[in-house]
């Protein structure tokens, strides 16, 4: 494990820090820092304008998407540097979260698999925050087992006609484009009959219904697709090669680890809250149970930081982190749940009864146990790759056609 940056990485870190110090406001250490990685939506309409102004300025300066090649407006850096950027950026207020699905997942996918015409059409407005993207992968019957998706796309001349339903689609209600996976050949095994499209979210037949969360926000949606026509020019990659294309999208999510493992300052914020609680006459910094919990969170944060070093080490040795990423994801979700529960406890009844960032963070924390691969899926990976436990019982669902699989599932349900 490498704890220190290489001289090149240190130089890049210094460059990031200098630019951020000159252009961004340092982040206050509070529940808001926790919320910033849990919440992806827009609650205040003025937020979008501020976000767009930031993104256009960062694009002009070449800092909007550091990992994109220079020819598309990025800095052409590798994943290690992208993590370094995320780590440094986590100390600042950067209102770019609504663009991240597009800039961190969509852009890299188009850069690898898009045609020159698609790159010219989609990348500039994406980079500058003029067009927001969302991810239309999950469906009511396809999440952990994404390849089970059943949204259909049928060829009709120069167009495809799409019918089906997506769910959990973060930010779909303010997005211009959606990365869409649809089944184009049901007569081959489930991973092989999928095609990747970029959908114009304003096309006729796209119906977006926001879902209200327990935080009070409405950041994800159900998206219904009824005879939606997509030009063939908006297909990414070959027909039936969508699973391979989607792996670029999913792997790109790892670049966002930097911020997750960054300096959230969460324990410091909780210590300040514990002192306030004591001053307000509630159990706080002088309470042995609170002190014990703070010490546990401090330790868990330190462990997570070391896992982060392992991940960056893997990237800088040209290796994709496997089980390390699963351990980090699992540990992060657990840490946030414990920390936000303590935040609510320290805030006392007022934190529960009125609008309070710790309460919102507490109610948002369960989502991290599901998003980006659930806890159980991460445990399966750790069980197999770290503990050497036997693989899940194998099934023949990679051999038989999707049509046959769907028929068997329907029979099993009756
Ligand atoms: C905050 C948030 C934002 C999201 N944003 C998007 C988005 O923008 N676009 C998008 O496409 N999707 C999005 N998702 C969806 C996310 O990818 C899925 O929720 C996730 O993959 C889990 O799928 P599922 O909800 O269908 O649960 P399922 O896969 O149905 O799982 C149900 C339960 O069974 C368990 N389980 C499933 N398979 C196994 C197994 N093999 N072994 C053990 N346990 C198992 C799971 O852990 C879970 O507890 C988002 C989710 C969240 C929470």
Q: Is the CB of 144 under 6 A from ligand 1?
A: yes
Q: What is this structure's pTM?
A: 0.93
CA-146 nearest atom, ligand 1: 21
Taking domain 252-385, whether its CATH number is 1.20.140.10 is answered by yes
Ligand 1 centroid–CA 373 distance in Å is 6
Which residue among 133, 134, 140, 143 has the greatest number of ligand 1 atoms within 8 angstroms of its CB, and so is best to mutate?
143
Contact predicate 328/315, CB 8 Å: no
% of the chain exceeding 90 in pLDDT: 60
Ligand 1 centroid – CA 90 distance (Å)? 26
Using a 6 Å cutoff on CB, does residue 215 contact ligand 1? no
Residue 260 has pLDDT above 70, yes or no: no
Mean pLDDT of 256-275: 75
From ligand 1's centre to the CA of 168, what distance in Å? 9
Reply yes or no on whether 253 is catalytic. yes
Q: What pLDDT is attached to residue 36?
A: 59
Atom of ligand 1 nearest to the CA of 166: 11
- Per annotation, catalytic residue among 253, 259, 293, 324: 253
pLDDT per residue over 5-32, tens digit each?
A: 889 999 999 999 999 999 999 877 655 5
Does domain 7-131 bear CATH number 1.10.540.10?
yes
Task: Indicate the domain borders of the chain.
Answer: 7-131, 134-246, 252-385
Closest ligand 1 atom number to CA of residue 373: 21
Q: How far is the CA of 149 from the centre of ligand 1 (A)?
A: 13
The pLDDT tens digits of the residues spanning 81-108 come to: 888 888 888 888 888 889 999 999 999 9
Q: What mean pLDDT do residues 98-124 have?
A: 95
Q: How much distance in Å is there from the Cα of 145 to the middle of ligand 1?
A: 8
Q: Answer whether residue 380 shows pLDDT above 80.
A: yes
What fold is seen in the domain 134-246? Butyryl-CoA Dehydrogenase, subunit A; domain 2 (2.40.110)
Q: Is the CB of 377 under 6 A from ligand 1?
A: yes
Q: What is the pLDDT of residues 150-168, one digit of tens each?
A: 999 999 999 999 999 999 9
pLDDT at 311: 79
Residue 387 φ/ψ, nearest 5 degrees: -90, -10
pLDDT of the residue at 34: 61
Q: Which residue's alpha carbon is at the smallest distance from atom 20 of ligand 1?
A: 143
Residue 144 CA, closest ligand 1 atom number: 29
The answer, yes or no, to whether any atom of ligand 1 lies below 6 A from the CB of 252, is: no
SS (H, E, C) 139-150: ECCECCCHHHCC
């Amino acid at each position: 494990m490498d704890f220190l940056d290489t001289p090149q990485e240190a130089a890049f870190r210094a460059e990031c820090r200098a630019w951020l110090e000159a252009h961004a406001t340092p982040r206050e250490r509070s529940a808001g820092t926790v919320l910033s990685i849990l919440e992806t939506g827009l609650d205040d309409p003025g937020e979008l304008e501020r976000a767009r102004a930031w993104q256009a300025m960062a694009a002009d300066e070449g800092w909007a998407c550091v990992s994109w090649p220079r020819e598309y407006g990025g800095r052409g850096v590798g994943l290690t540097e992208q993590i370094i950027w995320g780590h440094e950026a986590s100390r600042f207020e950067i209102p770019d979260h609504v663009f991240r699905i597009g800039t961190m997942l969509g852009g890299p996918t188009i850069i690898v698999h898009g045609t020159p015409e698609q790159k010219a059409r989609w990348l500039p407005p994406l980079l500058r925050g003029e067009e927001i993207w969302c991810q239309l992968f999950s469906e009511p019957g396809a999440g952990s087992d994404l390849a089970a998706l059943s949204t259909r796309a049928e060829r009709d001349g120069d167009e495809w006609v799409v019918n089906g339903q997506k769910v959990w689609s973060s930010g779909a209600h303010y997005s211009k484009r959606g990365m869409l996976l649809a089944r184009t050949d049901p007569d081959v095994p489930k991973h092989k009959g999928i095609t990747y499209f970029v959908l114009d979210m304003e096309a006729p037949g796209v119906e977006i219904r926001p879902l209200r969360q327990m935080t009070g926000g409405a950041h994800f949606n159900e998206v219904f697709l009824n005879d939606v026509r997509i030009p063939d020019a908006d297909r990414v990659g070959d027909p039936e090669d969508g699973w391979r294309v989607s792996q670029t999208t999913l792997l790109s999510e790892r670049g966002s680890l930097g911020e997750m493992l960054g300096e959230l300052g969460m324990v410091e914020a909780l210590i300040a809250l514990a002192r306030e609680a004591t001053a307000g006459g509630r159990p706080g910094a002088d309470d042995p149970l609170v002190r014990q919990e703070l010490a546990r969170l401090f330790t868990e944060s330190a462990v997570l930081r070391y896992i982060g070093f392992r991940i960056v080490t893997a990237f800088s040795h040209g290796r994709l982190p496997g089980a390390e990423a699963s351990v980090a994801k699992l540990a992060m979700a657990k840490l946030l749940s414990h920390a936000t529960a303590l935040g609510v406890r320290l805030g006392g009844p007022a934190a529960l009864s009125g609008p309070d960032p710790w309460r919102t963070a507490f109610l948002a924390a369960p989502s991290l146990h599901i998003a980006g691969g659930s806890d159980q899926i991460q445990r399966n990976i750790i069980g197999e790759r770290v503990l050497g436990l036997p693989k899940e019982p194998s099934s023949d669902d990679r051999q038989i056609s999707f049509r046959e699989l769907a028929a068997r599932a329907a029979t099993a349900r009756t």
